[in-house]
Chains A and B, each alone.
Chain A
Amino acid sequence: MNVLGIYHYWVFAILLMIGFYAVIAKLNLIKKLIGLSLFQAAVFLLYITMGNVEGASAPIFGFGAETFSNPLPQVLILTAIVVGISTTALGLGIVVRIKEEYGSIEEHDIQEIDRR
């Protein structure tokens, strides 16, 4: 298989790893959430690109197109995007509460305060 021919998988994998790295390595809670969003966005791309058919049009009848892209992955990802937004919103809400209680959003500071 041609490596460049499946370039969208590379985009998916690289984005996924960047997001995953940020979640694990960054100590700032906001940066962790940014990483988490990237991580989820990569999966959205995986779904969207797999539904695409080369040379096909959008799945709408009556405009002379012969082949259509698969609309189901797009519908699934619409739901997954909503889930992703809810998660990010809830995560940010918790970060705001952490800032109010601890006065910091750095993981080290929070652990230090809890140890006291």
Chain B
Amino acid sequence: MNALTLHLPALQVIVPMLMAPFVVLLRARSLPWAAATATSLLTFSIALQLTMIVMDGNPVSYEMGSWVAPYGIELQVDAFSALVLLIVTGASSVALIGGRESLASIISTDREPFFFAAWLLALAGMAGIVVAADAFNIFVFMEISSLASYVLIAAGPDRRALPATFKYLILGTIGATFYLIGVGLIYMMTGTLNLGDMELRIHEVADQKPILAAAGFITVGLALKAAIFPLHVWLPNAYTYAPHIVTTFLAACATKVSLYVLLRFDFFVFQQNLAGHEFQFAAYLMPLAVLGILVGSVVAMFESNIKRMLAFSSVAQIGYMMLGASFVSATGLTAATLHMFNHALAKGGLFLATAAIAVIAAGCRLSDIAGLARRMPWTFAALVVSGLSLIGVPGTAGFISKWYLINAALELETGGIALVALILVSSLMAVVYIWRIVETACFGESVETEVKRVPTALVIALWAVAIANVGFGIAPDLPLSLSAAAADILLGHVR
């Protein structure tokens, strides 16, 4: 390893963070966008290199300022982090590449530098959450990314974006503060903030009650940030009224990053460390996952706004990830982590498609898109491909993770069949709501609107994601080996 490779975990965060104030200074039109896109692509290449390094199963550890952990701040990248880093940096890059015109039509030129600076801060925050191995640093990065994403969402063209952002701000802050209380309680009992150190010292704590309270606070706080049912109330409006490109970025990675922290905490720090509470994680979160899948899918079936429909579908998809994780088995965790990746592909494709649709039908309501497929066949073809992946049709990425999820459910001793039925029923519901879009767009009576061209870059980005959906469905080796390694890592800490 050369000198630069050693510093990759730190560069992953520092590059976008240092570029953010620089972007504020760029005043010429499109220059902030270009700088943000270049930075985002650079972080993506860093994530790719980190993935290559951790592929063989050895995590990379980085000591900030050469202070030895647990005294100093430690950054750590393993296969699980690499997978999430790929999602975060990839989603940001694709959204930015395809989104120049779409964003320029919403954000005035003088505000562009601030908007893209906020974008880079959101990116830096999320990358920071993933690489940090220190509970308090995770909190700080969580707030950096959240504050930046509130700014991004509030930039939405509709004024309803503002109350939606306010609600997200209140609930997001409550979630982060709950997390902070939990970390405080653990620190009080163990005297450490380093996750690895916490895992060891938590065994020596005589009185486990504060640890139990901490587990509750941290799980609820992160569940709020990850929009796990019934704590998802902020998500539909925030996704609906944010600029389309921002929705693409956030829907692909924001909730998954919180879920990542939740899994790391529950499996590294709390799991089975609490005497007599071996399955509290599974026992509490599985019913919520099941309810989330059902409620999210049902509400999505009856929504008339496409973005809202897809937002509720996200609630259901987060349910799938939770369900996989709550099995606490190798197959289940592989399904959960793989679904993070595949859902990012499918939902990223769908929201990019809505950004393309919005060029002509700004409202994104079902009634606005009647007959549109005949005029924008490329956009709707890509939408159908991503939709099939969301449903989980064989040959697409979504199928692979659902296949693993069903296998994991069948491994259960009791109730496995019922869960398989649930997964099938909710997939059928996904067929219904994706079909509603396709039906209206293909067979609806055309509404006369002025003809506008969809930006070429957006169509290219959309098709790149659609092809990735098929590509990772046929050859899922890269995400599959990463998520299998992630499952191993998570289970390796369960004793």
Contacts and interface: CB of A to CB of B under 8 A. Distances in A.
Given A86-B147, A87-B143, A90-B147, A101 B159 contact: yes
Interface stretch (B82-90, B169-177, B375-383): B169-177
A94 B172 CA distance: 15
A29 B147 contact: no
A19 to B, nearest CB: 9
B140 to A, nearest CB: 6
B66 to A, nearest CB: 19
Interface string A1-38: 00000000000000010001001000001001000100
B166 interface: yes
A98 B174 contact: no
Per DSSP, chain A at the interface is helix
Interface string B120-161: 000000000000000010011001000100110010000110
A114 B177 CA distance: 30
Given A43-B177, A50-B184, A101-B162, A76 B151 contact: no
Interface in A76-116: 76, 79-80, 83, 86-87, 90-91, 94-95, 97-98, 101-102, 110, 114
30 contacts: A16-B181, A23-B170, A32-B170, A36-B173, A39-B173, A40-B173, A43-B177, A43-B180, A43-B181, A43-B184, A46-B184, A47-B184, A73-B184, A83-B139, A86-B143, A87-B143, A90-B147, A90-B151, A90-B169, A91-B169, A94-B154, A94-B165, A94-B169, A95-B166, A97-B162, A98-B162, A98-B166, A101-B162, A102-B159, A114-B160
Contact of A39 (B139, B147, B177): B177
A87 B174 contact: no
Interface of B: 136, 139-140, 143, 147, 150-151, 154, 159-160, 162-163, 165-166, 169-170, 173-174, 176-177, 180-181, 184, 187-188
Contacts of A76: 136
B166 A29 contact: yes
Nearest to A101: B159
A42 B159 CA distance: 33
Contacts of A91: 166, 169-170
Interface residues of A, number: 29
A39 B154 contact: no
Given A46-B184, A79-B136, A98-B162, 20 more contacts: A20-B174, A29-B166, A32-B170, A36-B173, A39-B173, A43-B180, A43-B181, A50-B184, A83-B140, A83-B176, A87-B169, A87-B173, A90-B147, A90-B150, A90-B169, A94-B165, A97-B154, A101-B162, A102-B162, A114-B160
Contacts of A114: 160, 163
Contacts of B136: 76, 79
B166 A40 contact: no
Contact of A83 (B143, B154, B163, B181): B143
B420 to A, nearest CB: 39
Contacts of A94: 150, 154, 162, 165-166, 169
Contacts of A110: 163
A83 B181 CA distance: 15
A110 B161 CA distance: 12
A36 B166 CA distance: 12
Contacts of B170: 23, 32, 36, 91
B290 to A, nearest CB: 27
A110 B139 CA distance: 32
Smallest CB-CB A-B distances: 3 pairs: A101-B159, A83-B143, A98-B162
A50 B163 CA distance: 37
Contact of B163 (A40, A79, A98): A98
A36 B150 CA distance: 16
Contacts of A102: 159, 162
Nearest to A87: B173
B174 A23 contact: yes
Contacts of B174: 20, 23, 36, 39
